[in-house]
Amino acid sequence: MFTKRLASRAGVVAAAAALTLGGLAAQANASSAVIDGSGGWASQSGCNLGSPNYFCLYYSPNHGGAVKHYAVTAVYTISDYFPGTTDLVRNDAASADNGSGCHVGIWVSPGYVGNSNWLNNGNRGGNLTSALRNNEASIAVDDSTNCPGEGIG
C-alpha cells in the first residue's frame, strides 16, 4: 500500500514538473522578427513621429484598409474595433506603423508574450509576418535603451 501511494505521488510530481517545463520550453521557443527591414516603409502621417500616436495597426497589408491609432505606449490586451467597422483589431491586423521614437513590439498573446514582430525606433512600418498576421494580441513600446520608462521597456 505504501509503495503504491509513493509511486502515485511520484507520478503526480513528475506530471507537474513536465507541465511546468513544457510551458517554459514553449515560451523559450517563441520567435521574433523585425518587420521594418528592406520590405518596410515610412509610417503614414497619422502614425509618424510628428503625430500623437505611438503605433498603428492596419486591417490590410501595406497600410491598407481601416486603421487603429494608439496614443498610449502599451496595450496589454488588444480588445477594440477598427474605427467604422465591426472588425476587432485583435487577431485581424495585417500591417503596423511605429510613430514613436522607440522600438515597438507586437505579440501573439496578451501580456507581451509569445511570438513577436518588431518595429525599430522612428517612423517605420511593415507587414506582420505569418506568425502574427491576423494573430496579434498585445502591442507596446519596449525600449529601455532609447525610451526608458515608456511602455513596458
Taking only the tens place, the pLDDT of each residue in 70-98 is 999 999 999 999 999 999 999 999 999 99
φ/ψ of residue 2, rounded to 5? -60, -40
Q: How far apart are the C-alpha atoms of 131 and 69, rounded to whole Å?
A: 22
How much is the pTM? Answer: 0.80
pLDDT at position 6 over 90: no
Instruction: Express as a percent the part of the chain with pLDDT over 90.
Output: 71
Looking at residue 20, what is its pLDDT?
Answer: 35
Q: Which residue has the cell 525606433?
A: 121
